Chains A and B, each alone.
Chain A
Amino acid sequence: MAKAKLSMRERYRLLTRDLDWEPTYVDPKKVYPYTRYEGIKIHDWDAWDDPFRLTIDSYCKYQAEKDKKLYAVIDGFAQGQGHLSLTDARYVNSLKLFLQGVTPLEYQAHRHFGYLARHLDGPGARFAALCQSIDELRHTQTEIHTISQYNKYYGGLHNWSRMHDRVWYLSVPKSFFDDGLSAGPFEFLTAISFSFEYFLTNLLFVPFMSGASFNGDLATMTFGFSAQSDESRHMTLGLEVLKFMLEQDEDNVPIIQDWVDKWFWRGYRLLGLVAAMMDYMLPRKIMSWKEAFELYLEQQMLEGLFPDLEYYGIRPPRHVEQAITEKEYMSHQVYWILYQFSFAASFNTTVPTDEELDWMSGAYPETFDRFYRPLWERARRLEEEGNRFFFRGLPMLCQTCQIPMGFSEPGDPSTLSIRTSQFRGERFNFCSDGCKWIFDREPEKYVQAWLPVHQIYQGNCGGTTIPEVLNWYGIQDGVDNGEYLTSPDKANWDKWHTGAVVGGA
């Protein structure tokens, strides 16, 4: 007689609890040596509960199905010349920034969750980390396959892995993730699983994938949504791990509050790149950064999540008020930085069209016409006169977030914000109170930052002239970088869309 099928709950219990054993002839502290030094106290790993109750069989079944669907779409995209159906070749620049910045992070996440799958004491937590490690490898692969589609037709994507280790703007995501990887396991989980994947993920992925869909990019939309379906599991892990730590011991609360504060600001600064993509790099906009910030951060997180965390004694992140103030202008400041320095970037930038300028006036009535429209109109005049504006020289970088110092004083878009700290007789510069606060907590860590501009001046980047540095970056001058209107991408796009009869005499 066939046995009745076990319930989900029972199967999950058998997998994560029944298969586990207590070490007896080796001290458990030696088996799991890394989960004590951060000061987090865990008394009962069994209290860990994974709401997804995933087991190996269902994990494999659904992941295989997701991959099958995704690769069918990518195949269709290749065969049907999907790259020609984009709104405009300009769109591809947002994709370049995303794929260059995120793909290597997926791989780092894969590695680090593999490490957690070995080193967390509780079997439930280890299994969740194992699944996530495999997910993140899948994301790396699907993104590389997408890169490979676009790399056939567009510049800037041929060298993404080396660029991630070398190029100035990619040091922003790289240093963010390295900061997490080099922390202890509980801080990493707070940084990546909670802050990045639960708290901020909706601001990163959802508007971007929706933007891809709106701009005719089926391949990206599909890999993005496919990855996001795993992400809902990662989000759950993030919230679960935070509540688990908070419930285990009251002494954990102040440690976690500090991490929530730190990783909010770290993540928020990183999202500056997303803000610029949403408002400037998508030819067809889905929503402004400001709207996305209000919906996902203010409404869902500050009004939804934080009242829940208050129960444990956690308050909203430090410096969140500054982020709220900045929603009125942050994207404009970041894109202006990218615009000025894109001679050294592996994507193109350009002045927004008239329709886009009008859209921004509507989306940012308080700031756009006063501060940013005049800037873009001046930049356009220069471009039309044949003097496309690029910043001469190299920028000063924030020691913490590594973004060039182009942010303003909170609430005052016309005054540049610079903060400094002294440490061991040296002066360090920061873009904001948040970045300075993070440095001051752990100066020994951040003085080691690999700052791209310092490295160039120290002669560690192939030479001290721009062509030498570009060569070292793997950026082909005149092909991958600079102004969009005069780029090979634009010339090719126009050629592909002239409507000429192919094969005509």
Chain B
Amino acid sequence: MTSKPNVRQVGVDLQDSEDSRALVEAIEEDNPDVNLIRMPGLVKMQIPGQLVIRRETVEQRMGREWETHEFQMNIVSYSGNISEWDDDQIVIKWEH
């Protein structure tokens, strides 16, 4: 067996609500390797390396304007480090 370099997981937990649905779809679209776990009331999304939430993709899925600040309406928790949060995207990854 070859030992793979250990890529650490990052992730977000979102409320499992009607509002979050488009968001979850957008995250899946932009992060094809994302692993989705449903817990009561909660959608847990985990991925090795980094997770990106892109405004444009979310707006397409929602069919309306969406600003990245609005992400706080749906987020319950995250693991990792918020390395970027600007008008166009949010990036979660470990720094070192």
Residues of A near any B CB (own CB < 8 A): 7-9, 51-54, 58, 62, 65-66, 201-202, 205-206, 209-214, 221, 225, 228-233, 235-236, 239, 286-287, 299-301, 303-305, 307-308, 310-311
Chain B residues, Cβ within 8 Å of A9: 86-87
Q: Which residue of A lies closest to B69 (CB)?
A: A58
A301 to B, closest residue via Cβ: B79
B39 within 8 A of A: yes
Q: Which A residue's beta carbon lies closest to that of B42?
A: A210
Task: Assess whether B84 is interfacial by the CB under 8 Å rule.
Answer: yes
Q: Do residues A52 and B87 form an inter-chain contact, with CB atoms below 8 A?
A: no
Contact residues in B for A225 (Cβ distance below 8 Å): 15, 41, 76
Tell me whether chain A's interface is mostly helix, strand or loop, or mixed.
helix
List residues of B (48-96) whose CB comes within 8 Å of A's CBs. 67-70, 72-87, 94-96
A9 CA / B69 CA spacing, docked (Å): 12
B68: nearest residue on chain A (CB-CB)? A8
Q: Which 5 A-B pairs have the closest CB atoms?
A: A213-B41, A214-B40, A311-B96, A213-B40, A300-B79
Given contacts A7-B87, A202-B13, 20 further A-B contacts (CB under 8 A): A8-B69, A51-B84, A52-B72, A52-B85, A53-B85, A62-B70, A201-B77, A225-B15, A228-B77, A229-B76, A232-B72, A232-B76, A232-B77, A286-B39, A303-B6, A303-B8, A304-B9, A307-B96, A308-B95, A310-B96
Could you say which residues of chain A place their CB within 8 Å of the CB of B78? 232, 235
Q: A51-B84, A300-B9 are in contact. Are A202 and B40 (CB under 8 A)?
A: no
Contact present for B94 and A304 (CB under 8 Å)? yes
Q: In whole Å, how far is A52's beta carbon from the nearest beta carbon of chain B?
A: 6
Give the complex CA separation of A52 and B70 in angstroms: 11
Distance (Å) between the CB of A409 and the closest chain B CB? 32
Query: B40's contact among A7, A205, A286, by CB below 8 Å, is which?
Result: A286
Contacts A8-B87, A202-B77 given; indicate if A221 touches B8 (C-beta within 8 A).
no
- A232's partner among B10, B11, B40, B75 (CB-CB below 8 A) is B75
Q: Could you give 13 example pairs across A and B, Cβ below 8 Å?
A: A7-B86, A9-B86, A58-B67, A209-B76, A213-B40, A221-B41, A228-B75, A228-B76, A232-B77, A235-B77, A235-B78, A236-B82, A299-B9
